[in-house]
Amino acid sequence: MGVADASLVEIVPGAYAWVQPEGGWWVNNAGLVAAGDGAQAMVVDTCVSSERTRRFLSAAAEATGGAPVRVAVNTHQHGDHTYGNHLLPADTLIAAQEKAREGMVQDPFFDDVPRVWEPMPDWSDAVRRPPGLTFREALTLHLGGVRAEVRHPGHTAHTPGDAVVWLPEQGVLYAGDLVFNRVTPLVFMGSLEGARRSLEWVAGFGADHLVPGHGALLEGAGIERSLDEHDRYYAFVAETAAAGRRAGVGPLEAARGADLGAFASWPDAERIVLNLHRAYADAEGREMDMVAAFTDALAYTGGPLACDA
């Protein structure tokens, strides 16, 4: 799978997902909402590289007959969802939760990312473009008759500033990285406990269609199935961390000793090491050591982390 395998899928009339297989490291999904009056459009997230973002925006323009992108929402701070922001029109208003904006402004990865992936994703031509509009809990957009509710779960989950975009009339939820569909969930820059708690909140929207931050689109009973899988995975990480701490071993040893079972088949399984680093840090009430976490993830895989971006 590569850049050319991405496609714009119309989920229901006017609500689209930009789906980028296979959804591993730095390869995200994004969204497009066409206004009811056809005069404007909104996007949900951009992509890591200019090539991926240009493909997305060009497919969006084609689908909407060139309707101008007036508004964009970033679901969180991570670069695979935001580094393409600079390619949005200059007059596009970008919105995000206030902690997501803080994270984007301070993001050390933008200029100096740990070179742990192979091949490395490329955003060397990107210009930092943080959101111009922030909110704490909620924001509602009215796009020519289409209501789009942007909501923060109220606590740290995947990151401190996560947001979802909910189209109540269409039953479509853009969940960002609160949901990874059969791609290993990542919580190292957030909270394991908070990510687990956010699952019930996501379920509460009662969505018919859900666009995960990574992985294939979900609908109907598949949504509940996926949220259950997340819950089992997070429980597994919590139990592995607790057992490792009881045994007096670090996150790497705990990961090596754990049987991932069915989770081993999900892309980016080595995230268990990063997630355990988060779980240990939270249990011990200290900051997570990012360098140690990546060093251990490399030791776990025995080489660079596979990347398709």
| Contacting residues toward Zn ion, per CB under 5 A | 78, 177
16: which strand partners? 10, 32
CB of 151 to Zn ion, least distance (A): 17
Residue with tokens 């111009």: 132
Q: Which is nearer to Zn ion, 68 or 201 (CB)?
A: 201
Q: Which is nearer to Zn ion, 39 or 109 (CB)?
A: 109
CB of 102 to Zn ion, least distance (A): 15
Q: Which is nearer to Zn ion, 156 or 170 (CB)?
A: 156
Q: Which is nearer to Zn ion, 14 or 153 (CB)?
A: 153
Q: Which is nearer to Zn ion, 78 or 271 (CB)?
A: 78
CB of 165 to Zn ion, least distance (A): 15
- For residue 129, CA distances in Å to 57, 83, 106, 220 come to 16, 8, 12, 36
What does the angle CA 146 – CA 148 – CA 151 come to, to the nearest 5 degrees?
Answer: 170
Q: Which is nearer to Zn ion, 159 or 240 (CB)?
A: 159
Write phi, then psi, for 145 (nearest 5 degrees).
95, -10
Q: With beta carbons less than 8 A apart as the criterion, state whether 271 and 184 touch.
A: yes
Q: Which is nearer to Zn ion, 40 or 75 (CB)?
A: 75
Residue with tokens 């088949």: 265
CB of 147 to Zn ion, least distance (A): 26
CB of 242 to Zn ion, least distance (A): 25
**Quick one: CA dihedral 199, 202, 204, 206, positive or negative?**
negative
Count of Cβ atoms closer than 10 Å to residue 259 Cβ = 8
If phi > 0 it is left, if psi is from -120 to 50 it is alpha, else beta; for residue 122 that is beta
CB of 73 to Zn ion, least distance (A): 14
Count of Cβ atoms closer than 10 Å to residue 183 Cβ = 23
CB of 214 to Zn ion, least distance (A): 8
Q: How many CA atoms lie within 13 A of 307 on its CB side?
A: 18
Alpha helices of 64-203 — where are they, by DSSP H? 79-82, 98-106, 192-203
Determine which helix (DSSP H) or strand (DSSP E) holds 173, and give its type and residue range: strand 172-180
Count of Cβ atoms closer than 10 Å to residue 109 Cβ = 13
